[in-house]
């Protein structure tokens, strides 16, 4: 049995139909380069007859030397009642300069008569003539059989005739589309088994409206499909498309098919996060294979087993898809979690002046008070180093004062922070303004420390969250502040808890800057040593 899979990515076309997804032409080119490096065989660039952005993409893509991928254009069969040579969409595909095109046509008789409003025979002619027209101009053509599975269930004879019409026109591959995403895996397999030999390879294009797009894709491959269509992260119209970030590792690591080289597969997680970033969308933590949480472990019993044999709670080594194992610390932790984190931070558990169980008790008590270390691992690392006696303060607060002034009913309040800190033997006293008390405090602290630690300019606060922990206490409730900061692509989280929002913010802010300064300094030292 042929074990090679042809990967066809439609992130740049079908993916952009998802709600809230919009890529610029430059975004699409950057994503295409990543997909090419990943090892995707075909990258569907868009529909050149539909908008100026897609036209510009094909113009720019033609200037690039692609290493692995072939750029394809998407379009429909000719309109009813005209010749292919008179169809503007087919002309736009030729003008795009591509060598491969994917043409979709109706396979469901209901759509032919109600959406196209033409006859069943005319639809067959549209399929054959459109594909033949493009192949006569030197293009390789794939046929997307739109609504194929719904069409087959309604009228199997006619759905099969649409595939035969595409073969007659010269299609090189027949892609069976579950356009509405309503077909179940058992139906996919049963229908493909009934198709017989169609003389050309089959492909699969599944939508996720029933939550089974990935499963449908895998079942189609089991029954002979060799071209797999999908999008990175499963983005797409309505519930999205089959997620290639799940399809590819399942095919390669579980089913033994050849999709990518091991080195390419190890870049899958970075590719996923790159596309999320350009889509301006937060990654899904629980996204299979590539999500931040899918190799994260919290329960102490789990971590204890992981330390001996990772496969006890991991279905694959995370490194195979470029992901990484994470051990979380929370009220569910056991001593194994602490020992794992000590190893992770390069700290010696043997010389610890406490038992891991003692630190577990401290953490559980802190979380009972409202602390949350899953999203604040930097604060936890600082806590651990303090417990080991390995923590030295970079600065010490002498005091700060905040002034909030509202000068009129229509103006926003002004915030001013005065701060006094001690660094070594030096006392630094400074003041700064901000658009709120926390922003002013952050600005004043940075201004003071910049005189001694100029690297603080590399640290940026990227997220600030406040959660009220006991709503019934009203304005006097205890709050938890989570701060996320970053430095040249690295990110870390810190936490502070108090009944005073300023104090909670200060605790999280101090941890954030303290951790960031040490991180920048360690990187600087590593760079110096390597030179």
Confidence grade of residue 267 (pLDDT, cut at 50, 70, 90): very high
**β 227-230/173-178 pair status:** unpaired
pLDDT at 194: 94
| pLDDT 10s digits, 7-47 | 999 999 999 999 989 899 999 999 999 999 999 999 999 99
- CA 98 remoteness from chain centre: 29
**β 100-106/140-146 pair status:** parallel
Tell whether the model's pLDDT for residue 462 goes beyond 60.
yes
Rounded Cα–Cα distance for residues 36 and 16 (Å) = 18
| pLDDT 10s digits, 387-426 | 777 778 888 999 999 999 887 888 888 899 999 999 988 9
Three-state secondary structure of 308-351: HCHHHCCCCCHHHHCCCCEECCCCCCCHHHHHHHHHHCCCCCCC
How many C-alpha atoms does 390 have within 13 Å on its Cβ side? 16
Q: What is the mean pLDDT of the chain?
A: 86
Tell whether the model's pLDDT for residue 311 goes beyond 70.
no
User: Mean pLDDT lowest for which of 60-64, 94-98, 487-491?
Assistant: 487-491
How many C-alpha atoms does 134 have within 13 Å on its Cβ side? 39
Three-state secondary structure of 360-398: HHHHHHHHHHCCCCCCCHHHHHHHHHHHCCCCCCCCEEE
- Are 158 and 101 in contact by the 8 Å Cβ rule? The answer is no
Radius of gyration of the CA atoms of the chain, in A: 29
In sequence order, the β-bridge partners of residue 352 are none
| pLDDT 10s digits, 182-220 | 999 999 999 999 998 898 999 999 999 999 999 999 999
Number of C-beta neighbours around residue 223 at 10 A: 15
Tell whether the model's pLDDT for residue 526 goes beyond 50.
no
- 366 or 526: which carries more pLDDT confidence? 366
Q: Which domains, from first to last, does the chain contain?
A: 6-251 (3.20.20.70), 296-369 (4.10.430.20), 370-394+453-531 (3.30.160.340), 403-452 (3.30.160)
In the predicted model, what is the mean pLDDT of residues 470-479?
Answer: 69
pLDDT at 372: 64
Confidence grade of residue 469 (pLDDT, cut at 50, 70, 90): confident
Rounded Cα–Cα distance for residues 405 and 201 (Å) = 72
User: Mean pLDDT lowest for which of 101-115, 171-185, 379-393, 405-419?
Assistant: 379-393
How many C-alpha atoms does 142 have within 13 Å on its Cβ side? 30
Number of C-beta neighbours around residue 233 at 10 A: 28
Instruction: Tell me which residue of 216, 146, 227, 151 sits closest to 183, measured CA to CA.
Output: 216
């Amino acid at each position: 049995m042929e074990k090679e899979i042809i990967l066809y990515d439609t992130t740049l076309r079908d993916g952009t139909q998802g709600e809230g997804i919009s890529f610029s032409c430059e975004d699409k080119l950057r994503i295409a380069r990543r997909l090419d490096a990943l090892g995707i065989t075909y990258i569907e660039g868009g529909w050149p007859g539909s908008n100026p952005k897609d036209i510009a993409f094909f113009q720019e893509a033609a200037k690039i030397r692609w290493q692995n991928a072939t750029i394809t254009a998407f379009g429909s069969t000719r309109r009813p009642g005209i010749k292919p040579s008179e169809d503007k969409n087919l002309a736009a595909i030729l003008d795009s300069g591509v060598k491969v095109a994917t043409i979709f046509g109706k396979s469901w008789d209901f759509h032919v008569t109600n959406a196209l409003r033409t006859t069943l025979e005319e639809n067959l002619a549209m399929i054959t003539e459109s594909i033949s027209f493009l192949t006569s101009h030197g293009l390789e053509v794939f046929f997307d059989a739109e609504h194929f599975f719904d069409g087959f269930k309604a009228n199997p004879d006619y759905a099969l005739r649409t595939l035969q019409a595409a073969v007659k026109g010269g299609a090189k591959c027949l892609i069976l589309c579950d356009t509405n995403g309503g077909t179940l895996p058992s139906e996919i397999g049963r229908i493909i088994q009934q198709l017989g030999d169609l003389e050309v390879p089959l492909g699969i294009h599944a939508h996720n409206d029933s939550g089974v797009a990935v499963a449908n894709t895998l079942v189609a491959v089991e029954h002979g499909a060799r071209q797999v269509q999908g999008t990175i992260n499963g983005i797409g119209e309505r519930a999205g498309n089959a997620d290639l970030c799940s399809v590819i590792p399942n095919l390669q690591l579980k089913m033994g098919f050849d999709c990518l080289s091991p080195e390419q597969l190890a870049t899958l997680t970075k590719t996923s996060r790159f596309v999320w970033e350009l889509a301006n969308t937060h990654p899904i933590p629980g996204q299979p294979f590539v999500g931040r949480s899918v190799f994260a472990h919290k329960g102490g019993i789990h971590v204890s087993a992981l330390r001996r044999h990772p496969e006890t709670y991991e279905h694959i080594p995370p490194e195979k898809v470029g992901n990484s194992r994470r051990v979380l610390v929370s009220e569910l932790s056991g001593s194994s979690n602490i020992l794992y984190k000590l190893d992770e931070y390069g700290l010696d558990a043997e010389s610890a002046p406490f038992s891991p169980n003692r630190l577990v008790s401290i953490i559980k008590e802190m979380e009972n008070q409202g602390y949350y270390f899953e999203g604040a691992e930097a604060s936890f690392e600082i806590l651990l180093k303090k417990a080991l006696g390995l923590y030295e303060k970079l600065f010490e607060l002498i005091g700060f004062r905040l002034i909030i002034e509202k000068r009129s009913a229509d103006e926003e309040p002004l915030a001013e922070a005065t701060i006094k800190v001690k660094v070594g033997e030096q006392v630094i006293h400074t003041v700064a303004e901000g658009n709120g008390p926390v922003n002013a405090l952050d600005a004043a602290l940075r201004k003071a420390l910049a005189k001694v630690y100029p690297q603080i300019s590399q640290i940026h606060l990227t997220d600030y969250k406040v959660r009220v922990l006991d709503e019934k206490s009203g304005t006097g409730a205890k709050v938890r502040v989570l701060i996320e900061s970053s430095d040249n692509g690295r990110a870390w989280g810190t936490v502070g808890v108090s009944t005073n929002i300023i104090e909670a913010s200060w605790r999280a802010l101090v941890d954030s800057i303290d951790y960031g300064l040490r991180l920048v300094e360690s990187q600087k030292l590593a760079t110096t040593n390597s030179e």
